[in-house]
A and B are shown apart, each in its own frame.
Chain A
């Protein structure tokens, strides 16, 4: 229901911000979050939904490591190998 995609803020105006997606420039509403040029943001239907942390890849790796560590015993047991 809610396609949202990350882009980079290149200019902040009064009530909108120009967000760049590798060359596609979208003037997005920015009434929901404080943002500044250089921010990675999540845009839904021409509106900035959230500011993203700089490196989300690492975040995901951390989640995997936590999940796998948390359930190390369980993994061995239930996978039955």
Chain B
């Protein structure tokens, strides 16, 4: 039996650590490689490999639509997918604060295991450390941080690169924007909400549908922190091509639009955790859109604009065409995206 809360003993490397690993992590993440409990896992595979790592520090650790465990799997899986890799293996490093309720950890680990299964990856090795409680929240409960690293295999002939973007290419977004950011910010600011839910999801099904559709995908990026405008600005910068998008075509759910409205925020700068942008060859745009819409988490996909070309040395910009008929240059997100009231 595990204790009610995490204590420094759980990070001692002794008996408590052993029980925590056996009763929680090994049980939930179980697979043939992890179960060997070796210092490092030896896994099969030979191809071009993609590797990535990410650390997750979100507070609150559980929120409508997800939790830090689901986020830790999706973040790394999605990063692998965006470079054209098929995600295979993850590592999981936990930093726990003493005082963390064991029940919270249990739910997070369970959710992490479920998400890994959903995304078709194995968690093959892990680590746990316990640190003093630094939490400043009213309840004084300890926090929880996760690092995941991921390995995926890149199929022969895959080439995804912003530099291959060409004039006429279409910009596809896989769904409605801003839900994760709005959900977390509402919680942090103590605003009651029943209609916001994080979009926290793995993008493997969308990517697989795109791949099997045969549509020519030039570049892909998951739209995380900084939002759509930041990601597309980076495409403009690295390709030297101007991109023009139509504000009225950008999918945003009404609750998110209104949440942004009361705080003076903009959906194009809001972070997501289950959305991607794909740049598609013009002749394949409708094929790609159909493919994404038929995939899990892709039902609200839309084509929102296109690449308009090279406008001379260094002058390419990301342009947002507004509903009133205006044109506005969108830059990357600056600062923290703080709400504005005054």
Contacts and interface: CB of A to CB of B under 8 A. Distances in A.
A binds B: yes
Interface of A: 1-3, 5, 7, 21-26, 43-45
Interface string B225-260: 000000000000000000000000000001101110
B192 interface: yes
Contact of A3 (B192, B259, B264): B264
A interface majority secondary structure? strand
- The winner among B186, B262, B263, B264 for most chain A CB atoms within 10 A is B262
B64 to A, nearest CB: 11
Nearest to A18: B192
B338 interface: no
B258 A7 contact: yes
Contact of A22 (B186, B191, B255, B342): B255
- The winner among A1, A21, A44 for most chain B CB atoms within 10 A is A21
Contacts of A45: 341-342
A10 B263 CA distance: 20
A51 B96 CA distance: 49
A11 to B, nearest CB: 12
- The winner among A1, A5, A7, A44 for most chain B CB atoms within 10 A is A5
Contacts of B258: 5, 7, 21-24
Contacts, number: 51
Contact of B192 (A1, A7, A22, A24): A24
13 contacts: A2-B342, A3-B264, A5-B261, A5-B262, A21-B255, A21-B258, A21-B259, A21-B262, A22-B259, A23-B194, A23-B195, A23-B255, A45-B342
B340 interface: yes
B219 interface: no
Contacts of B192: 24-26
B149 interface: no
B306 to A, nearest CB: 30
B261 A21 contact: yes
The 10 closest A-B pairs by CB, nearest first: A23-B195, A21-B258, A22-B258, A22-B255, A3-B264, A5-B261, A23-B255, A5-B262, A22-B254, A25-B192
A43 B192 CA distance: 16
Contacts of A25: 191-194
- The winner among A23, A43, A44 for most chain B CB atoms within 10 A is A23
Contacts of B196: 23-24
B269 to A, nearest CB: 15
A21 B340 CA distance: 17
A44 B262 CA distance: 8
Contact of A7 (B193, B262, B264, B342): B262
Contacts of A21: 255, 258-259, 261-262
A71 to B, nearest CB: 19
Nearest to B264: A3
Nearest to A44: B341
Nearest to A43: B262
A25 B196 CA distance: 11
A24 B196 CA distance: 8
A71 B284 CA distance: 48
Contacts of A7: 258, 262
Interface in B244-297: 254-255, 257-259, 261-264
Contacts of B341: 3, 44-45
Contacts of B186: 24
Contact of B195 (A3, A24, A44): A24
B77 to A, nearest CB: 29
B254 A3 contact: no
Nearest to B265: A3
A2 B193 CA distance: 23
Given A22-B195, A22-B258, A24-B196, 17 more contacts: A3-B264, A3-B341, A7-B262, A21-B258, A22-B255, A22-B257, A23-B193, A23-B255, A23-B258, A24-B186, A24-B191, A24-B192, A24-B259, A24-B262, A25-B191, A43-B262, A45-B342
